[in-house]
Structure 1
Amino acid sequence: MTKTEALIERYYEAFNAGDREGMLACLADDVRHDVNEGTARGGKDKFRAFMEHMDTCYSEQLTDMAIMVSRNGRRAAAEFIVNGIYRTTDGDLPPAHGQRYRLPAGAFFEVEDGFIRRVTTYYNLSEWIRQVS
C-alpha cells in the first residue's frame, strides 16, 4: 500500500468512525474542499463547519470503497457507496423524516507532503432527492 493510499484510507476510516478530528488530521491547513453542487471552501475551519452541518442533517457510512492512486502519489480517487439516513431537513432540500438512502459517490484528492490538499466530492443529487422524496 502506498503512503497516499494509506492516507485516503485513514481519512475514510475516520469518517466512518465519526472521528472528525481524525479526518482533519489528514488535511493540509489550507485544504480546498469542492462540494458537490456547492461552492469551494478553503481551510480546516470551513471543512470542520461543513462536517458539523452534515452530521446534524445526515448519518452516513461508506462501504464498497475502492481507492486509486496516481503513479506519483499526488492524486487519488475513491469510489464508494453512501449508506445514509436523512435526519434533519437541509436547507431547501426535501423535508427529512429519517429516510434511508443508498447512493454511489466518488471523490478526487490532491496530496502533498503527506496531507490532503484538495477534496472534491461527486454524487447524483437528483437520485438522492428521488430516494428521499
Structure 2
Amino acid sequence: MTSLETVKNYYDAFNARNWSEMLALVDENITHEPNQGKTRIGKALFTDFMQHMDASYAETLKDIVLFSSTTEGRIAAEFVVHGTYKQAEPGLPPANGQNYVLPAAAFLDVKNGKITRVTTYYNLELWIELVSK
C-alpha cells in the first residue's frame, strides 16, 4: 500500500467512525501535533485524544484532497470539517449541539505502511465564532 492509500484509508476509517481500523494505521510511536496544545507521542496518548474528541465532537470530513510529495511518505490533506459540538471543553464556549463547517488541513508522515506523524491546522477563532452563534 502506498503512503497515499494509507492516508486515504485513515480518513475513510475516520469518516466511518471505525476507530479500531483508523488506529491500526497509526504507528506505535506516532507524533501528534494538534492545532492547540502539547504534542503527544505514542499510540496510547493518540488513542486517548481520539476518545476524548469522540465524546466532545461528532465530525465528518468532506471534500478531502490529498497531496503527495515527491518524497514517498509525506502527505498533505485539505478538507472541510462538518461537525457537531456535543460536550463543552475547558476554556471554550458551552456545547449544546451546535453544528459547524470549518476548513482544515493536516500533514502526515507514513513509514512502513503506518502513519508516524499527524499535524493538524484549523482556525480556532473561526470555530469559536461558529459555535457561539
Query: Normalized against structure 2, the TM-score is what?
Result: 0.96
Let me know the Cα RMSD of the aligned residues.
Answer: 0.9
Counterpart in 1 of 2:98? 99
1:113 Cα shift?
1.1
Distance, in Å, in 2 between the alignment partners of 1:73 and 1:17 is 26
Unaligned runs of 5+ in 1: none
How far residue 31 of structure 1 moved from its aligned partner, in angstroms, is 0.3
Deviation digits for residues 6-45 of structure 1 (CA, Å, limit 9, x no counterpart): 1000000010011111111111110000011111001111
1:28 and 2:10 matched: no
Q: What residue in structure 2 maps to residue 45 of structure 1?
A: 44
Matches of 1:68 and 1:31 in 2, distance apart?
20
1:67 correspondence with 2:87: no
The TM-score with structure 1 as length reference comes to: 0.96
Matches within 5 A, 1:74-89: 74-89=73-88
Rounded Cα–Cα distance in structure 1 between residues aligned with 2:62 and 2:91: 28
Task: Please report how far the alpha carbon of residue 72 of structure 1 lies from its aligned counterpart in structure 2 after TM superposition.
Answer: 2.3
Aligned to 2:119: 120
How many residue pairs end up in the alignment?
Answer: 132
| Superposition misfits of 4+ residues, deviation over 6 angstroms | none
> Structure 2 counterpart of 1:129, which letter?
I
Residue identity opposite 1:72 in structure 2: T
User: How high is the sequence identity, in percent, across the aligned residues?
Assistant: 46
SS at match of 1:66: strand
